[in-house]
Amino acid sequence: MNIVEIAEFYSHPLGRVTQGVLAAKLKAPLAVPADQLVLGLGYASPYLTGHERALSFMMARAGVVHWPDTGKVRSALVDELDLPLGDNVVDVAFLIHALEFAESAEELMEEIWRVLSPQGRLVLVVPNRRGFWSVSDRSPFGQGQPFSGQQLTALLKQAQFSLKRIDYGLVSPPWAAPGLVKTMEPLSRTGLGRMGGVIVIEAVKQIHAYSTGKHVRRVLPRLRPMLLPQPALRPLAKR
C-alpha cells in the first residue's frame, strides 16, 4: 500500500474506529514531556496529534503526505535504513505501518537503536501473524510481513532492546461492523488477546549495547530536517 491508500483507510468508518482503539492503547506509551522528541515512522501522524516536537517520517517506497495540516511541515520522505538524524537524538521512536514494510527488519531496528537516546523508548505496532487482520486486505495491517510475539521478542533482543511490555489489539475480525470492533476490544485483555490483529510493544534501548556488522550505506554527510511553512498542496504519493 502507498501512503495515500493508508491515509484513505483512516478516513473510512473502520479506519476511524481502528485509530480510536489503538490510540487508547498508545496513550500511555506516547505520553511524554513537551521537551522530548518523538519520531514517528511509517504512517504515525494520526497518533501524534498534540506532540509539538514530533516528526513524522514516511518510507521512500510508500510516498509521503504533508503533516500537519497547518503550521510548519514536520513530515518527510526518508530511507528507513538511513534516517537523516544524528545519533542519540530521539526520546521516543513510534513505528506503525513500518516494520512489516521494511527492506530489512534487522537493519531497521539497528537504525532506530542508533537515533534513540540512552534509555530511549521504542513503541511498535505490528500486524499479528496469528490474527485475522493479517490475512485480510481490508486494512493496511493485511499488507506486508506479519510477525508473531516470539519473532518480535527475538528481533528486539538481537537489536539490543529490553522488552518492557507486550500487548495485543483489534480482537474482532476486520470484516466486522465498526461498532463491533470497538465493543469487542475489552477481550484483548483476556486470553483472546493473542489472536488480536496487532501486537503493541514497548521496549527500551540498552545503553551498554553497540551495533556490529551493519552494512555501510552512507555516502553523504547526514542532514538535519528543516521545518518549513506549510505549502498549500494536495497529498502526494511516490509513483
Domain ranges of the chain: 3-205
Give the closest residue to 162 by CA, choosing from 107, 202, 118, 127: 202
pLDDT by position in tens, the chain (length 239): 789 999 999 999 999 999 999 999 999 999 999 889 999 999 999 999 888 889 999 998 888 888 888 888 899 999 999 999 999 999 999 999 999 999 999 999 999 999 999 989 999 999 999 999 999 888 999 999 999 999 999 999 999 999 999 999 999 888 888 888 888 888 878 877 888 899 999 999 988 655 455 554 554 455 455 555 555 545 545 54
CATH of domain 3-205: 3.40.50.150
Output the pTM of the full model. 0.84
Cα–Cα distance for residue pair 103/137, rounded to 1 Å = 21
Task: Write out the three cell numbers for 36.
Answer: 522530548
| 168 burial via Cβ count (<10 Å: 0-12, 13-18, 19+) | buried
